[in-house]
Amino acid sequence: MRLNAIWVYLASQPLLWLALTVTLFWLARRLYLAVGGLALCNPVLVSIAAIVCLLLLTGTGYQTYFDGAQFIHFLLGPATVALAVPLVQQLPVLRRSLAPLSVALLVGALAGILSTVALCWLLGVDGRTLLSLLPRSITTPIAMGVSDQIGGSAELTVVFVVITGVLGAAFGVPLLGRLVRSDPVAGGFALGVTAHGIGTARAFEVNEQAGAFAGLGMGLNGALTAVLIPLVVWALGLQGAA
C-alpha cells in the first residue's frame, strides 16, 4: 500500500516524466552504442517505444506525461536557432554550391510530395489521411500549420512527421551507403530534406559537415514545402477528396 501511495504522488509530478524521459533516452543511447549503431536500435525509436509501454502499463494519459516532458520539448526552439552556428562555419562550401543545392532542394521537395500522393492513390489511403501525410518530411511546427491549412489533421501529421524522422534516421545512412561519408554535403542535405530535425540529429553523428547541411536542408525544405503543398493540393484538386 505504501508503494502505491508513493506512485500516486510521483505520477502527479512533472518531475517523474521529465526524469524518466531523460534517463530512458540515456539508456537507449548506451544500448545503441553497445550494439554498434544498429539502425533498429535507434535511441529515439527505443525510448519512444519504452515510454509508450510504460504509459500503457500504468494507465497514464499523454497529457500527464507531456506536462513533465514539455520542458524537453521546449528546447527544440533554441536548438533550431542554434543550427545557424554550424551552417555559418560552412559558408564557403555553401556559396560555391548554391545552384546545385537549389536544384536538389526543388527535386527533393517535389519527390516527397508526389510520391506520397501516388502511393496513397495506389494503396487507397483516404483523403483526410493523405492530406495529413503530405507534410511528413518537414519540421513539426511548419507541418502542423500546413496540415491545418489544407484540411488535414495537425495531430495526425505530428505522428507521421516523427515516424518519418525516425525512419530516416534509422535507415537513411545504411540506405545511402557510403555516400553520406564520401559526400557529407549531399548525404547530410538529403537527410535533412527527408527526415527534418531527427535526420539532422543523425547527420551530426556522422560528421559536423553532414549535420550543418542537414540543418540547411531541413530549414529550406520547410520553407519551400509550405508553399508547394497548397499549390499541389489545388492543382490536383485534392481538397475535395477529404
Partner 1 sequence: MVGAIATLLLMQLAGTLLVQFLRLPLPGPVLGMFLLFAWLAWRRQVPEALSRTAQTLLENLSLLFVPAGVGIVAHWHEVAGQAGRITVVLVLGAAITLVTTAWTLHWLLARARARGPRD
Amino acid identity, position 177: G
Residue 226: which of 191, 196, 188, 189 has the closest Cα?
196
Minimum distance from CB of 8 to partner 1 (Å)?
21
102 Cβ neighbours under 8 A, 6+ residues apart: none
- Restricting to residues 170-189, name those near partner 1 by CB under 8 A: 171-172, 175-176, 179, 183, 185-187, 189
Q: Does 39 participate in binding partner 1 (rule CB under 8 A)?
A: no
Q: Where are the alpha helices (DSSP H) in the chain?
A: 2-11, 14-34, 43-58, 62-74, 76-82, 84-88, 91-96, 98-123, 127-133, 140-150, 154-176, 179-182, 184-206, 208-235
Q: Give CA separation, 47 vs 35, 42, 86, 151, 161, in Å.
A: 15, 9, 27, 31, 17
Interface with partner 1 (CB under 8 A), residue total 111
Minimum distance from CB of 2 to partner 1 (Å)?
29
Stretch that binds partner 1, among 1-9, 33-41, 219-227, 232-240 (CB under 8 A): 219-227
Pick the closer one to partner 1 by CB: 12 or 182. 182
Q: Which of 7, 88, 231, 234 binds partner 1 (CB under 8 A)?
A: 88
Pick the closer one to partner 1 by CB: 2 or 177. 177
Q: Does 210 participate in binding partner 1 (rule CB under 8 A)?
A: no
Stretch that binds partner 1, among 4-12, 33-41, 56-64, 232-240 (CB under 8 A): 56-64
